[in-house]
Amino acid sequence: MSFLWPSRDDQLCELLDASRRGDRRAFRALYLELYDPVARFVARRVGRREDAEDLVARAFHKLLERLGEFDRRKGTPRMFVLSMARNLVIDHLRAARQEAPIDDLAGVLADEAGTPLDALVRGEELRAVRAALLELGAEAREVLVLRYGDELKHQEIADLLGIRADAAKQRASRALRELKARIEARDEEEAAGEARAEGVSDAGL
C-alpha cells in the first residue's frame, strides 16, 4: 500500500474486507467498481446479450458467496472476480458447444485505420487477422484475448490462469509470433496466387 495515497487495488481490497464483515454499502461500492471490467470481459466472449448479462450477475453472486476466500497475496479483487467470470464463461460455452467470438480481438490486433480512405485496407487486415486466429489453438487465442483484448498485464494473466508470470509472458509472445507467421503465410499465398493468375492472363493475351 502506498504511504502517500492508497492505490485503486488497495481501495478495492478495503471494500472487499468491509463487505466480508457484512457491510452492504461496501459491497455495493465494490460491485459498481468492478461491474464494467467484468461485463466487458464476459461480453467479449459471449455473443448473446442476455447470456452475458446472466453470467455477469452469476459472477457477482459467486463473489458475494466467496468473499471469505479472497487472499490479497494471491491477486487483486478484480482478478478474483474475473477468475469466477472466466470459469462461468468456459462452462457456458462448453454447454452450448461454442467457441468464444474473436471478431473483437481481430479488431484489437489489426492496426486502426488512420483515415476513411484506409477503410478498405483495414477491412482486409481484419479478415486476415480473423482467419489466422481461427487457425490458432484455444490456449493461444485465450492468451491473446487476455493480453490485447482485456489489456491484462502478464502477472494478471498468470493469476487468472494459475501459472507463473514469466510463463504467461512466454505464452503470449509465442501466440503472437504464431499469429504473425500465419498472417504472413496467408499474404504470401495470396500474392503467389495473384501472380499465377496474372501469368495465365498474360499467356492468354
Tell whether the model's pLDDT for residue 81 goes beyond 80. Answer: yes
Tell whether the model's pLDDT for residue 154 goes beyond 70. Answer: yes
Which of 95, 179, 180 is CA-nearest to residue 134? 179
Bigger pLDDT: 50 vs 148: 50
Q: What is the pTM of this model?
A: 0.75
Residue pLDDT, tens place only, 92-110: 988 877 666 665 566 556 5
Tell whether the model's pLDDT for residue 192 goes beyond 80. Answer: no
The domains located in the chain, with CATH, are 1-100 (1.10.1740.10), 102-205 (1.10.10.10)
